[in-house]
Amino acid sequence: MSGDREAAAGEPAVRYETEVTEVGAEVAAFVEAGVLVWFDDTAPEELRWFSVLHRPTVTVGGVEPGDVVHIDDRAMRVTAVGEVANANLVSLGHLDLKANGAFEPPMPGDVCVEQTELPEIRPGTRLRIVAGDPGDQVDGAGAGHDASRKGST
């Protein structure tokens, strides 16, 4: 099955889940800049040097502001989702994850999370995106606004 995962009662729905299979040579430099570029492990050679390659197990997609991205034991709230980000994620396993706290994505394919230091990525690292609590959506004016913008200008 291409990965529909039903949430157990009281648990948030898993929208996307994957495991890292390979880490490009320049990923650490991108992490320092607050960016992680993900492609599924069928990506062409010219994209591998700067990408986190992975094999998805849940590909429901539908990432929205307020959802939570888990990278191993690190959790980051989604603040903005570009207009093509979900299509890219589901069809290509492509995710431009930016830890910039932006409420408007800089590029149409970006998924922005709260401004934070990104974790080290290595083969075996797990990424999971889960539905946020509907009462805690990040919209630039509601719950999560002040916490997500803390430290930004």
CA angle 34, 37, 40 (to 5 degrees): 155
**pLDDT confidence tier of residue 5, bands split at 50, 70 and 90:** very low
Average pLDDT, the chain: 85
Strands 52-59 and 35-40: parallel
CB atoms within 10 A of CB 33: 11
Measured distance CA(26)–CA(135) in Å, rounded: 38
Tokens of 74: 């690190």
Question: Is 36 a residue whose pLDDT tops 50?
Answer: yes
pLDDT of residue 110: 98
Helix, strand, coil percentages in the chain from 3-state DSSP, rounded to 5: 15, 30, 50
pLDDT category at 61 given cuts 50, 70, 90 is confident
Residue-wise pLDDT tens digits, 93-147: 999 999 999 999 999 999 999 999 999 999 999 999 999 976 555 544 333 333 3
Q: Residue 66's closest CA among 56, 79, 49, 57?
A: 79
Residue 62: the pLDDT is 83
